[in-house]
Amino acid sequence: MTTRSLFLLPGDGIGTETMAEVRKIIAWMNEAQGAGFVTDEGLVGGSAYDAHGVAISEGDMKKALAADAVLFGAVGGPKWDNVPYDVRPEAGLLRLRKDLALFANLRPAICYPALADASSLKPELVQGLDILIVRELTGGVYFGEPKQITDLGNGQKRAVDTQVYDTFEIERIAAVAFELARTRRNAVCSMEKRNVMKSGVLWNEVVTATHKDRYADVQLSHMLADAGGMQLVRQPKQFDVIVTDNLFGDMLSDIAAMLTGSLGMLPSASLGAPDPVTGKRKAMYEPVHGSAPDIAGEGIANPIAMIASFAMCLRYSFNMVAEADRLEQAIANVLEKGIRTGDIMAPGCRKVGTTEMGDTILAEFKALSA
Ligand code: NAD
Ligand code: IPM
Ligand code: MN
């Protein structure tokens, strides 16, 4: 029997609550479908800090590196606001991305038909929305050196973060965007700020050259990232694939998330390069949202982003395309039936908590799989 190894890192806050719903789906797929998932679990973020004094232990890093795929919940929270910078909860997430070399972060923003009313934009602007943000994830200002605060000795301090991109980093993320565009509506919009940043100049140059050399069949446009943010809320359906750097991708994907109704809806896949021998990619699947300290522990978080992240895992790590389609369909059907967590609640709908939303999606998934 095929075995598929999954390493679960629920993390903090609502990360643990939403991961519980994915665990049920995994258990059912093993039982009823012989899916062969072998799971192990670890600690990341504040929960790892409380247990080990670090944001992720070496043992858990090893397990993450060895697994076929990692499922990540969320990290962070006010409890750890004052821990040393190097061991703050977010450092665990950044280390996973860097050490697993997950340079390509795919953040689809799809507006389910039933949720057009939950968006902060007019329904006609988001109805049918299906865009994919391809965010560079292991470079840029997140990781560039120097990154420090120095005391200038005159009562002043100086903080430095460094935005760095090499040609190969831009080329490989552009290639991912072009490849994915070919499976969709064949259009890529690249966003940077070449008007003020040297890294933007190189970004634009390399994306243009990669397009000309290898992907001339794909439609390519360029936008300054600030204008891109404006266009995302003005006319979001003009976009198919957006490719952008680590920081702009972080911000633009939160904007895109709200177009779909709630941050609680947006999944993501973080992928490495295929192994030259086995063709396998390292991968981690994580919702775009954080640990939501304002609602953590209340049992009301929306588990859809986490469940949809697992659907992406089925699709990208295990090539279980039919199962991924069915799980996404199950989510759509449940929304269609008017079942809602608080963040996407609308008049006439039935409000449920995290567990009931998870159970209802699982029941629908079972029905579709029968
Ligand atoms: P957040 O995403 O945690 O929350 C923003 C808002 O969206 C909150 O009002 C929250 O209640 C709501 N929300 C988010 N996910 C939801 C869900 N599934 N269901 C219902 N409502 C949801 O962002 P924040 O408040 O800026 O950050 C809180 C902590 O999370 C910080 O420590 C931050 O660093 C961390 N964070 C972690 C990740 C991650 O682990 N991938 C991502 C973003 C932020
Ligand atoms: C995200 C988060 C992370 C990021 C934080 C928690 C490090 O906001 O995944 O979008 O900035 O990348
Ligand atoms: Mn973010």
DSSP string, 9-71: EEESTHHHHHHHHHHHHHHHHHHHH---EEEEE---THHHHHHHSSSS-HHHHHHHHHSSEEE
Q: Is 48 annotated as a binding residue?
A: no
Nearest CA to ligand 2 atom 9: 288
Question: 88 — phi, psi (to 5°)?
Answer: -65, 155
Nearest CA to ligand 2 atom 7: 90
Question: Residues 290, 328: one domain?
Answer: yes
Question: Residues 142, 39: one domain?
Answer: no
Question: Residues 145, 254: one domain?
Answer: yes
- For the chain of 370 residues, list the mean pLDDT of each consecutive stretch of 10: 93 98 98 97 98 98 98 98 97 98 97 88 94 98 98 98 98 98 98 98 98 98 98 97 98 91 94 93 97 98 98 97 98 97 95 98 97
Question: Residues 141, 75: one domain?
Answer: no
The pLDDT value recorded for residue 119 is 87
Question: Residues 140, 226: one domain?
Answer: yes
Question: Residues 233, 125: one domain?
Answer: yes
Residue carrying the six token digits 């003005």: 234
Pocket of ligand 1 contains residue 75 by CB under 6 Å:
yes
- The CATH number given to whatever domain includes residue 258 is 3.40.718.10
CA distance from start to end of the chain: 21
CB atoms within 10 A of CB 229: 17
Question: Residues 115, 69: one domain?
Answer: no
Q: What is the best residue among 289, 300, 306, 345 to mutate for testing ligand 1's pocket, by most ligand atoms within 8 Å of CB?
A: 289
Which of these three, 202, 231, 265, is where a domain ends? Answer: 265
Nearest CA to ligand 1 atom 31: 76
Contacts of 234 (CB under 8 A, 6+ apart): none
Q: Is 25 annotated as a binding residue?
A: no
Pocket of ligand 1 contains residue 46 by CB under 6 Å:
no
ipTM exceeds 0.95, yes or no: yes
The domain tally of the chain equals 2
∠ at Cα 55 (53, 60), nearest 5°?
A: 100
Element containing residue 3 per DSSP (H, E): none
Give the number of the atom of ligand 1 that is nearest the alpha carbon of residue 45: 40
Pocket of ligand 2 contains residue 90 by CB under 6 Å:
yes
Question: Residues 28, 146: one domain?
Answer: no
The pLDDT value recorded for residue 257 is 86
Rounded to the nearest integer, the mean pLDDT of the chain is: 97
Question: Residues 82, 119: one domain?
Answer: no
Contact 59, 41 (CB under 8 A): no
Which of these three, 234, 265, 296, is where a domain ends? Answer: 265
The pLDDT value recorded for residue 354 is 98
Pocket of ligand 1 contains residue 258 by CB under 6 Å:
no
Catalytic residues: 142, 193, 226, 250, 254
Q: Which ligand neighbours the alpha carbon of 15 most closely?
A: 1
The pLDDT value recorded for residue 226 is 98
Give the E-state strand segments of 83-155 in sequence order: 104-110, 130-136, 144-151
CB atoms within 10 A of CB 337: 13
Residue 311 and residue 313: Cα distance in Å, rounded? 5
Question: Residues 23, 95: one domain?
Answer: yes
The sign of the torsion formed by the CA atoms of 215, 218, 222, 225 equals negative
Pocket of ligand 1 contains residue 291 by CB under 6 Å:
yes
Give the number of the atom of ligand 1 that is nearest the alpha carbon of residue 15: 40
The pLDDT value recorded for residue 2 is 83
Dihedral in degrees, nearest 10, Cα atoms 190, 195, 196, 201? 50
Residue 340 and residue 349: Cα distance in Å, rounded? 7
Give me ligand 1 centre to Cα 76, in Å. Answer: 9
Nearest CA to ligand 1 atom 27: 290
Pocket of ligand 1 contains residue 90 by CB under 6 Å:
yes
Question: Residues 261, 304: one domain?
Answer: no
Q: Is 343 annotated as a binding residue?
A: no
> The pTM is what?
0.96
The pLDDT value recorded for residue 258 is 85
Contacts of 40 (CB under 8 A, 6+ apart): 5, 6, 7, 8, 63, 67
Could you tell me the residue range of the domain that residue 199 belongs to?
108-265
The pLDDT value recorded for residue 93 is 98
Which of these three, 237, 265, 293, is where a domain ends? Answer: 265
